[in-house]
Chain A
């Protein structure tokens, strides 16, 4: 009999904090709209508090093996909280400028964050699915939250339809896994013979598709560019990072439960194919993009390709590399979206790259950080992105997957083409807009500074992060190194 005791309270305190803060914000919005200015601070506080509770939560499984607290979940929570913090920080001024400052935005963001948090902490397929859906529902709404803007509504519709479609696959996969293992707990998948069971493998594929969808992994990526384009930028900053990481962790959880040692070669081939397709398609199509948010969407698709290399490689080292990569991706990609959010004056119109012309001089800080983010995404050394690639390709080479590494590296060459094009527009073209970007708020500045510092610190001193990731990777039952 499972009751809600002190252990359960301690374990769920992070989520309870988030849920309560969201509800509080909605209530304040309804009954004390004057407090709006404090919503961002409140949200930040909730995120921080939740992170604090994560650190205090006792290690181990609770709720009858449905929720886990481990070094992995702690590291993942740190990752998620950092993303959420960046999103909240840039959201404040963004919403003010757009005239859409409303509590629901923060509430939905916090609830979505809660959902992602459940995804990484859940060790039960149902919990994970509910987390996934909480995230999805919140972000369907966030995508469409600018009701007066056609693009926003359309993004909402597209995200909703494709998301529901993906969820159907996920839930079908869950049903099959449940049917074969007799339990919704992931641990039940570690049964002898499951690795070769066709239904299990099929169900894993469905999950791969469903969570690959959340990761915007090609060919399950198609929603991402459209949704990113129409969605409010701060929400994209979160959506383009946190759920991707969480989905990857879920995939690792499920796959390690079934295959502790190594993936069967056909599955490896399939995942490698996804990685290659995602890298190549993402990078090549990004070259043709003119809207910076779409460009970043394709860049994100490509990055999910790189990170999926680690999934194909599989193993503790690979998972460590993946976690390091996630953090690198967090600071660079969330940072890039934060910069985009700061650099465009009109939030509701498209964001063509050309409008950034000459901002290198008019908004040196934001443009500088954006450049740094792009160099990091491109994997130039002394940035976090390089460290990420270093570990990912290192892991691939360590397991002898040279082909993947070479394709990956060629892809990052292609990617430099479009990253540099944006840098070129920033610094080497004359401004096209009469007015410069809006003045930088304190919160914006803080967000950008944090991302820039993260990029450089992780880029120059990655040891700490690596140790953290390594300890997190120990949580999963990998065999071997």
Chain B
């Protein structure tokens, strides 16, 4: 069952990810990505991370991508410029490089990705949401505090860039 769900969710996530890339309409891209992220959340659940799955849906798919949509609408960007790419070389070389990179990456991860001698993990042994919460405030206190500065910087930065009036 888990296996089937995983395969299905993975397939859908990949397909919609591909759609996101292939779609000429940015709005459709965003929507495709929403779908992809949603099914990623499904996989996260299978990986014993329901909290992250929730965040993925609420924050990522729900908030961030909506923000994207909002900006797309705001700027009224409907369609990626038609007409041919003036520099096809980007596609050719880029495609080749991606291909090589992907082949190596996939081969590497499928063959050597798993650490040797790892015992099978079960949900029972997996950390709970409580563990996550505790870790964030203790073990990961420093990153957590640092993150606050990061968010503050992003907030102030975004504000600086788009605040309408320029004070004298």
* B160 contacts chain A at the CB level, 8 A cutoff: yes
Q: Once bound together, how far apart are the Cα atoms of A134 and B139, in whole Å?
A: 20
Q: Once bound together, how far apart are the Cα atoms of A134 and B148, in whole Å?
A: 10
User: Are B109 and A118 in contact, with the CB atoms below 8 A?
Assistant: no
Which of B18-26, B33-41, B76-84, B151-159 lies at the interface with chain A?
B151-159
Q: How large is the interface on A (under 10, 10 to 19, 20 to 34, 35 or more residues)?
A: 35 or more
Neighbour of B149 across the interface among A1, A114, A145, CB < 8 A: A114
Given contacts A134-B146, A145-B161, 8 further A-B contacts (CB under 8 A): A63-B141, A64-B139, A107-B153, A126-B143, A137-B153, A137-B157, A138-B153, A145-B160
The contact string, 1 if C-beta is below 8 Å from chain A, for chain B 120-147, is 0000000000000000001111110111
Which 4 pairs between the two chains have the least Cβ-Cβ distance?
A141-B157, A63-B142, A111-B153, A134-B150
Which of A76-84, A196-204, A315-323 lies at the interface with chain B?
A196-204
CB distance from B1 to the nearest CB of A (A): 26
* A291 contacts chain B at the CB level, 8 A cutoff: no
Q: Once bound together, how far apart are the Cα atoms of A179 and B113, in whole Å?
A: 8
A-chain residues with CB within 8 Å of residue B166 when the two chains form the complex: 147-148
Q: Once bound together, how far apart are the Cα atoms of A26 and B160, in whole Å?
A: 11
Q: Once bound together, how far apart are the Cα atoms of A475 and B142, in whole Å?
A: 22
B-chain residues with CB within 8 Å of residue A114 when the two chains form the complex: 149
A-chain residues with CB within 8 Å of residue B108 when the two chains form the complex: 198-199, 202
Known: A1-B138, A63-B142, A202-B108. A107 touches B115 (CB 8 A): no
Across the two chains, which residue of chain A brings its CB closest to B167?
A: A33
User: Are B145 and A115 in contact, with the CB atoms below 8 A?
Assistant: no
The contact string, 1 if C-beta is below 8 Å from chain B, for chain A 196-218, is 01110010000000000000000
Across the two chains, which residue of chain B brings its CB closest to A133?
A: B150
User: Are B143 and A108 in contact, with the CB atoms below 8 A?
Assistant: no
Neighbour of A130 across the interface among B147, B158, B159, CB < 8 A: B147
Known: A179-B115, A198-B108, A199-B109. A108 touches B153 (CB 8 A): yes
7 examples of A-B residue contacts, CB within 8 angstroms? A2-B139, A12-B145, A112-B153, A130-B147, A137-B153, A138-B157, A144-B161
CB distance from B107 to the nearest CB of A (A): 10
B-chain residues with CB within 8 Å of residue A130 when the two chains form the complex: 143, 146-147, 150
Per DSSP, are chain A's interface residues mostly helix, strand or loop, or mixed?
helix
Give the interface of B toward A (CB within 8 A).
Answer: 104-105, 108-109, 112-113, 115, 138-143, 145-147, 149-150, 152-154, 156-161, 166-167
B-chain residues with CB within 8 Å of residue A347 when the two chains form the complex: none
A-chain residues with CB within 8 Å of residue B147 when the two chains form the complex: 130
User: Are B112 and A197 in contact, with the CB atoms below 8 A?
Assistant: yes
User: Are B140 and A126 in contact, with the CB atoms below 8 A?
Assistant: yes
CB distance from A120 to the nearest CB of B (A): 13
Give the interface of A toward B (CB within 8 A).
Answer: 1-4, 8, 12, 15, 19, 22-23, 26, 33, 62-64, 66-67, 102, 104, 107-108, 111-112, 114-115, 118, 124, 126-127, 130-131, 133-134, 137-138, 140-141, 144-145, 147-148, 156, 176, 179-180, 182, 197-199, 202
Known: A124-B143, A198-B112, A199-B112. A140 touches B157 (CB 8 A): yes
B-chain residues with CB within 8 Å of residue A1 when the two chains form the complex: 138
Interface centre among B108, B109, B141, B167 (most CB of A within 10 A): B141
Neighbour of A2 across the interface among B138, B150, B153, B154, CB < 8 A: B138
B-chain residues with CB within 8 Å of residue A111 when the two chains form the complex: 149, 152-153
A-chain residues with CB within 8 Å of residue B142 when the two chains form the complex: 8, 12, 62-63, 66-67, 124, 127
Q: Once bound together, how far apart are the Cα atoms of A15 and B147, in whole Å?
A: 12
Q: Once bound together, how far apart are the Cα atoms of A104 and B166, in whole Å?
A: 13
B-chain residues with CB within 8 Å of residue A8 when the two chains form the complex: 141-142
Interface centre among B113, B153, B157 (most CB of A within 10 A): B153
Interface centre among B104, B142, B154, B157 (most CB of A within 10 A): B142
Q: Once bound together, how far apart are the Cα atoms of A144 and B146, in whole Å?
A: 23
CB distance from A115 to the nearest CB of B (A): 7
User: Are A104 and B143 in contact, with the CB atoms below 8 A?
Assistant: no
User: Are A131 and B146 in contact, with the CB atoms below 8 A?
Assistant: yes
A-chain residues with CB within 8 Å of residue B138 when the two chains form the complex: 1-3
